[in-house]
A and B are shown apart, each in its own frame.
Chain A
């Protein structure tokens, strides 16, 4: 659907969620880790946005900051996360708790451990429904059945009284999606929801997410390290590296005309279907240590196009086309 040739229109003028110049530090025993620097992102209503990057690129940190689940050691040093006209990061803990689930819901990796092992699926759904909508037991049960059906779980009556240990990973993830939907959020953040599931289940979960998002007009922030997966379902893709947003573009544009060297390498690293192991194109170097002194462009030390300007800074953010930005001093040439 989103892989059409036409460039999709710019997001609606009033974004439903906007992250502006977000920077996050972590205090650790070995020093301060500058996990995110100057990250900006906008999501329009009903948009399916992918955030792609290596492990450690800061994708999940951003999500945790938005939902207020950041670790105690984490600190927002600058920036805002605007939702419904309010800066989520400036809210009191109480307001945060009230807004969680209601405005922005989140589903996580490892679905089996994300469900309370000693509580039935029905009870967990009822907990959320009661909290969010104040439903009584019978109404909660009915709504739970409906939700389970919407996430395409077979035999929902039986599942309501089942415990998580009796269900497969895929089914658990569906339950988690149902839990998220129970809150009726405007934005759903999915942090690597299909990692660890087998390929067939992966496909069906993604299909479900796309369908639900479209029908409810729910915006989805899809975090993954799998570029191919992002290509399947996202309207737009944001590429992150070492706490920076390096490129952001509509999906088709990103794949046809990547401008950031890192994006190009990420795409090149996708194995061709008939490739041999020795043909894998790895990305040289590794993520820089986020504790020490860092150059303005955190990719410069791995980059073959690095110039003097990359070390000097500041890192420019160039608008290349509609909805296409690049953070690079020396971006790749535009190809036809």
Chain B
């Protein structure tokens, strides 16, 4: 040993001599860390985050408003959305028609309000479907591995090999030009997001001790997967759903904008913008821009809500 080590050892031995009261090694309490809201229940945490994040709160309120409009539907529309009245065609926004009228004299405000239900329903339907199929497929792939994982992986990779909107177009072309196929097409192109997320989350959980513990209590494999593991990935899934809703809505509206699915005279934001596009160059902006703005607001609301949810669930993934 070096002379230095000897010196230190000697010094240490002296220092430990009875003149210095020894404290038996117990874990000393950690220095107070930064004040993280570790308050027990979820409700308080939720309120704390919402208070810190007025934007998320605003988005939540808008979302509730949208759902309300969707439920109330035609009952709050000032005019019949399908009633054409060529006398009043192409009127600019006025006190009588807040959003103006289109080329057939239909009140645009009424049509925008009524369209909420259809657009929301299409997006919700697509997302619900892709969430169910994707999360189950991804979970099974990660849990059972082997051929299941290979097949699911291949399918997901194949879907992702296409530019997604183009694939949606092709699917609608193949299955037929109606609204339900728009929902199915949007659902199919969104499956990969859920499948991949479920797969990575379950893979992490699979490595934890939960699986062994559950197996020891005599659970079957399916029961382990869906009663024990699956519920744990739901928070991340909810975030993904919210972030995905906006994108699904854009997709569905995009498909109807190019003329797929929705037929006139149905009130739907995409097709309304498409109608109005012809009139933009002549200056009748209200026909296209009001439904487009409504669409943008709804998508923005979902994106902000998704960001807020992500901050609540896992602030580390904040960008």
A: residues with CB less than 8 A from B are 2-3, 28-30, 56, 227-228, 231-233, 251-252, 255-256, 258, 264-265, 267-270, 272-273, 277-278, 280-289, 304, 335
CA distance A56 to B28 in the complex (A): 15
* Contacting residues, chain B, for A281 (C-beta < 8 A): 16, 22-23, 25
CA distance A267 to B13 in the complex (A): 9
Interchain nearest-CB distance for B5 vs A (Å): 7
Interface check B4, CB cutoff 8 A: yes
Interface check B26, CB cutoff 8 A: yes
Interchain nearest-CB distance for B32 vs A (Å): 5
Interchain nearest-CB distance for B125 vs A (Å): 43
Interface check B9, CB cutoff 8 A: yes
Pairs of residues from A and B, 7 with the lowest C-beta to C-beta distance, nearest first: A268-B15, A255-B11, A270-B12, A3-B4, A232-B4, A282-B25, A280-B25
Interchain nearest-CB distance for B51 vs A (Å): 15
* Contacting residues, chain B, for A228 (C-beta < 8 A): 4-5, 8
* Contacting residues, chain B, for A285 (C-beta < 8 A): 28
Interchain nearest-CB distance for A70 vs B (Å): 19
CA distance A28 to B32 in the complex (A): 14
Are A272 and B9 in contact (CB-based, < 8 A)? yes
Interchain nearest-CB distance for A143 vs B (Å): 34
Are A28 and B34 in contact (CB-based, < 8 A)? yes
Interface check B20, CB cutoff 8 A: yes
Which residue of B has the minimal Cβ distance to A261? B20
Which residue of B has the minimal Cβ distance to A4? B3
User: Among the listed A29, A264, A270, which residue makes an inter-chain contact with B8, where contact means beta carbons less than 8 Å apart?
Assistant: A270
CA distance A195 to B14 in the complex (A): 27
* Contacting residues, chain A, for B2 (C-beta < 8 A): 3, 232
User: Among the listed B8, B24, B31, which residue makes an inter-chain contact with A56, where contact means beta carbons less than 8 Å apart?
Assistant: B31
* Contacting residues, chain A, for B12 (C-beta < 8 A): 267-270, 272
Interface check B281, CB cutoff 8 A: no
With contacts A286-B28, A286-B29, A286-B30 known, is A231 near B20, CB below 8 A?
no
* Contacting residues, chain A, for B22 (C-beta < 8 A): 268, 281
Are B31 and A265 in contact (CB-based, < 8 A)? no
Interchain nearest-CB distance for A219 vs B (Å): 20
CA distance A228 to B3 in the complex (A): 11
* Contacting residues, chain B, for A56 (C-beta < 8 A): 31
With contacts A232-B2, A265-B15 known, is A289 near B32, CB below 8 A?
yes
Are B7 and A289 in contact (CB-based, < 8 A)? no
With contacts A284-B28, A286-B30, A287-B31 known, is A231 near B8, CB below 8 A?
yes
Interchain nearest-CB distance for B27 vs A (Å): 9
Are B34 and A231 in contact (CB-based, < 8 A)? no
Which residue of A has the minimal Cβ distance to B12? A270
* Contacting residues, chain A, for B26 (C-beta < 8 A): 282
Considering residues B2, B8, B10, B26, which has the most beta carbons from chain A within 10 angstroms of its beta carbon? Answer: B8
* Contacting residues, chain B, for A251 (C-beta < 8 A): 4
CA distance A62 to B233 in the complex (A): 45
CA distance A270 to B28 in the complex (A): 17
Are B25 and A255 in contact (CB-based, < 8 A)? no
* Contacting residues, chain A, for B8 (C-beta < 8 A): 227-228, 231, 255, 267, 270
Which residue of A has the minimal Cβ distance to B3? A3
Interface check B163, CB cutoff 8 A: no
Are A265 and B20 in contact (CB-based, < 8 A)? yes
CA distance A255 to B15 in the complex (A): 9
